[in-house]
Amino acid sequence: MIIRNPNREIALIKKVLGQNQPLTRGSLAGLVKSFVTKNRRSILSIARAHATPFYLFDRQSLDANISRFIAAFARLAPKQNIFYAMKSNPYVPVLKTVVRHGLGLDVSSGTELQLAVNAGAKRIVFNGPGKTAAELGLALKHRSKVTVNLDSFAELKTLGSLAAARKQKIRAGVRLVSTTSHGAWNKFGVPLEQIETFWRTASRYQNISLEGIHFHNSWNANAAPYVETIKTIAAFLKRSPRVRRSLKFIDIGGGFWPYRVDGYYPWLLPAGEIVRTAHAAQKTAASFTDRYYLSESVPLASYAREIKQAVDKHLAPLGDYQYYVEPGRSISYPAFHIVMRIADVKGADYGIADAGTNIVGLDTYEYVYHPLINLTHFGTKEITFELFGSLCTPDDVFGHYCYATKMAAGDVIIIPNQGAYTYNTAQPFIKDVAPVLPLPNR
């Protein structure tokens, strides 16, 4: 036996299994029906003319989503202070669409910085840990457009030395270690208790204008993490007049989860994982109450309203600051859809697609629920059907249910709203990365 104290571990497992977990039950049937009504005919036409699989670039939906975000955050951040986090999807037409709307770009490498410049971005924030001298040198080259959010004292020293040697001035902020996360998230930023020292150190570098504080909390179900961090920053500024007087911007970061477009399977929860693992060990099938749960989130307007209220209450009395936001997936998610065909039906409730999950970076769909839609034999209700990819590996699953009346070889299947962290994480594993085709305006 590998467990030192079985009774303690059994008691712990019982405790986890007995915990009440806050769950968002619901269905995405309304979203699916609306998508099919709007797009079915044009997508089937494209699928007849082109080999599957492919991504569809939906510029019309991206345009509409950018406009929604600008409107939601208008009272907090004007559009020039909205920086699209291009790591969520760096497809050049996506970047150019964002820039055309007047938004800036958020980059986290020299590669992304060059892409942002090439896309015509007028304003760029450079985030991320471990920036190299070459990357910081590139930021200096484009200093009229770039604000560097420094991640450490070492980055400050490197940028300060480069700027002095080149006799070039650049604007900067400093990233704060997240006050609402822990563990691996602590790799980012400078601890709050060191920010005043950081400010004093930065003052020695005459070519660096340190003007901002940046923080970032990811995967936020609501505005609470932003509000908590805003309170923390306000309390710090009250006791640090040096920082308060020279501060010009506060970068709130991103992490706004799209509302009611995806979900997760029960086995992603601690209790579900225990049950599934136990059944797998016994070679039996686990049974769960619900097929999936909807991802916890709130509408964009709710994030914006509560953040603005916190800013007005805690930060506005301390100074006339500008506020930046860095949306990623909340902008890009409707920009791409994934289209494939059923290559083989191998049983009544399972089959093989002509795509592999390398189209998104492998095992995403084993845990994250996105609706599968059969455009050939569309149905308004989901049927149980496990759709595997065609990679020569078992960890190649697209989903366990499909909106369909039946499933047959050759049927066109679409997974909508796949514009975030799919195209950019795809890899040529066994199969080539799929091409991108345009979806005409409807």
Q: Which pLDDT belongs to residue 179?
A: 73
Closest CA to 266 of 15, 25, 11: 25
Q: Give the whole-angstrom CA distance, residue 195 versus residue 340.
A: 50
Q: Which pLDDT belongs to residue 173?
A: 98
Q: Which pLDDT belongs to residue 12?
A: 87
- Give the H or E element holding residue 350: strand 350-353
Q: Which pLDDT belongs to residue 184?
A: 63
| Average pLDDT for runs of 10 along the chain of length 442 | 81 86 92 97 98 98 98 95 98 98 98 98 97 98 98 98 98 91 77 96 97 93 95 97 96 96 93 91 92 95 97 97 97 98 97 97 87 98 97 94 98 98 94 96 84
Q: Give the whole-angstrom CA distance, residue 172 versus residue 202.
A: 10
Q: Which pLDDT belongs to residue 98?
A: 98
Active-site residue among 29, 92, 301, 392? 392
Mind listing the domains of the chain with CATH numbers? Answer: 29-54+334-438 (2.40.37.10), 59-261+297-333 (3.20.20.10), 265-296 (no CATH)
Q: Which pLDDT belongs to residue 182?
A: 60
Structure tokens at 84: 């699209």
Cis previous bond, 191, omega within 30 = no
Active site residue 402: no
Q: Which pLDDT belongs to residue 183?
A: 64
Q: Which pLDDT belongs to residue 180?
A: 72
Residue 420 phi/psi, 5-degree rounding, is: -115, 125
Q: Which pLDDT belongs to residue 186?
A: 78
